[in-house]
Every structure is written in structure tokens, then in C-alpha cells.
Amino acid sequence: MMSTPVAQTVAQFIEHNQLGNPFDLDNEKAYQAWREIKLENYPENVEELIVEINDPAALTSAEFKAVHAMVVKTNMVVYAGNTGRDPDKKIPAKLGKQLGLTELDDNMGADDGVTSLKVVSGRWRSGYIPYTNKAIHWHTDGYYNPLDYQIYALLLHCVSPAEKGGENALLDHEIAYIHLRDKNPDYIRAFMANDAMTIPANMKDGKEIRPDRPGPVFTVMPDGNLHMRYTARTRSIEWKDDPVTREAVTALSEFLDSESSYIYRATLQPGQGLISNNVLHDRSGFENAGDYKRLLYRLRYYQRIANT
């Protein structure tokens, strides 16, 4: 098991440093102090995110601490378990519960809150990109959800990879925040506006499945943590029509398309998974063949991973 970096939750930072919330744009001292801690010993590659575990359903104390410490530092961790191609949906669900994740988003593609991400044809799912082999652009999960039902944590568990492709790119949303705030604090201010980003209504057969969903990109939660909702799609989003918001969108898009060392890339293997506080991520297109038919389980939660 790899060692994990020392990190502080935002609550611990505020308590220990008594500087207030670092995501307050009027509190530059707190931001700079938190930024230094955040970036110190930040993992340099995806291999440093990996924590080996034995039984995902019963983490040892050492495994839990290693997983938790990495999430506190980077808002994500890649676990490597021993379950291989076992298709039991209870495996990721039990793992989530050990991290304080119990409130599942039972969306229309889910089975008791667990969604099977695989290629589906001839059913309604085939009309949605996650159920195809097409690439998915950068996003956070549930960006189209109501603001009072946001997805704060995401768990992906691999049963089987594709024969080729299916790689995920990953970026800690707090790193995206740092990049934008350092570039121009007004970008953050624009992204915190309640009408910064609107997801247009979802219509099917002339009926409204989901209404327009306006809201911010960045939100400071009541517990002081930072939350992000975002999609790089252009057909399913309307950005606020003002110069600073447009500049912010361009700056973020350029960062996501860059070769930044903060952007990790990984193709999950059987028994591996991603646990995150809904970080930015994408998926490359893939090809199935023979026994290599991509199947991942996705669990979305209305909670963040427990701070302690």
C-alpha cells in the first residue's frame, strides 16, 4: 500500500488556522494559506492515487485511513481490490457505506441506486452517451440535478474493461478553482453567480422530463467545502451571456484541454474503482471485443465522503 500525503479538510484548516474559509473571495489570506497546504506534496501522477485494498466490503483500519487521506488531499482515490470480475453490485455499495456514503441518487438508469454503465442498444438508454461507446466530454456528475439534490460524491467500480479505450481523465475541482482564481478572481465570482450555467429542459416526445436548471458552477457548501457543477458539452448548456463568464469558460476549457500534470488518466481494471467527491472527469471512446466488454458500476451520492 502506498503512503498517502498529509492533508487537512477545509474544516480542519479553518479550525487550526483561524483564518476563515479559503473559498471566500474577500479572504485572500485564508486562500493563500490553504493553497500552500493544498499543493504541498500533491500527487504527481495517477500511480500515487492508487491504494491497494483486500476486501472492499471490509476495509481494515489502515486501508480506510489510506483511502480517506488521499480523498482529503485530492478529492479522489483509485482503489485496487481483489474482487476481479465479480459482478455483485453490493461490492461498491458496501465500500461506499464505510466512507459514510448512504444517500444514493436513484436516477432513471439506476437499479437501487447502482447504475450499470455498458453499451445498450434498442432501449431508451441507447439515446444517452453513457450507455454507448462514445467519448464523454469533461463534466461533473449530476450537473443537471436540482440544486437541492446535487451529487457530492461519485463511486465507479470496474467489473470489466473494454478491449480498447475507455480511459478516464480526472481533475480535482479544487485544482480547477485554484487555476481560475490565480488567473483572475473575477472568473470565480462569475462562476458563483446563481445564473452562471443553465441546463436547458429535457424534452421527449413533446413532454418535459426535466425543466431548465440554472445555477452556479462553484458553490461553497454549508460545511465550508467546495462543490462544482460543470459540463463541457455545448448542446446541453447555456452560459450566462457576459464577457467575464465567457472568459472564465474559455480559461477552464483551455486548462482541461492542456497537458497539466494535475490531470490524471487511468483505465480502470477489474476490481479497481474510483472514489471521489465528484471531481471533474471525462471518458474516451472504446471498443468491446470478446470477453472484454466494458462494465462499470456507478453510484452517485447526495453526500460528500465523510471528513473523519
Q: What is the pLDDT of residue 106?
A: 77
- Burial of residue 18, with CB atoms counted within 10 A of its CB: 0-12 exposed, 13-18 middle, 19 or more buried: exposed
Confidence of residue 64 (pLDDT cuts 50, 70, 90): very high
Q: What is the pLDDT of residue 5?
A: 52
Q: What is the pLDDT of residue 109?
A: 60
- 181, pLDDT greater than 70: yes
Per-residue CA distances from 227 to 26, 157, 232 (Å): 18, 22, 17
Interhelix angle 173-183/28-39, rounded to 10 degrees, is: 130
Q: What is the pLDDT of residue 1?
A: 42
Instruction: Give the DSSP H/E element, type plus range, for residue 202.
Output: strand 202-204
Per-residue CA distances from 44 to 49, 142, 188, 260 (Å): 9, 28, 25, 10
pLDDT-above-70 percentage for the chain: 93
Q: What is the pLDDT of residue 123?
A: 62
Confidence of residue 122 (pLDDT cuts 50, 70, 90): low
Model confidence pLDDT, tens digit, residues 73-83: 999 999 999 99
Confidence of residue 2 (pLDDT cuts 50, 70, 90): very low
Domain ranges of the chain: 10-301
Write down the pTM of the prediction: 0.93
Model confidence pLDDT, tens digit, residues 239-279: 999 999 999 999 999 999 999 999 999 999 999 999 999 99
Could you tell me whether strands 50-52 and 76-80 are parallel, antiparallel, or unpaired per DSSP bridges?
Answer: parallel
Q: What is the pLDDT of residue 306?
A: 78
CB 13 within 8 A of CB 37: yes
Instruction: Give the DSSP H/E element, type plus range, for residue 52.
Output: strand 50-52
User: By 3-state DSSP, what share of the chain in percent is helix, strand and coil, each rounded to 5?
Assistant: 30, 25, 45
More confident residue, 34 or 307: 34
CA distance 92 to 252: 32
Topology of domain 10-301 in CATH is Double-stranded beta-helix (3.60.130)
CA distance 22 to 157: 32
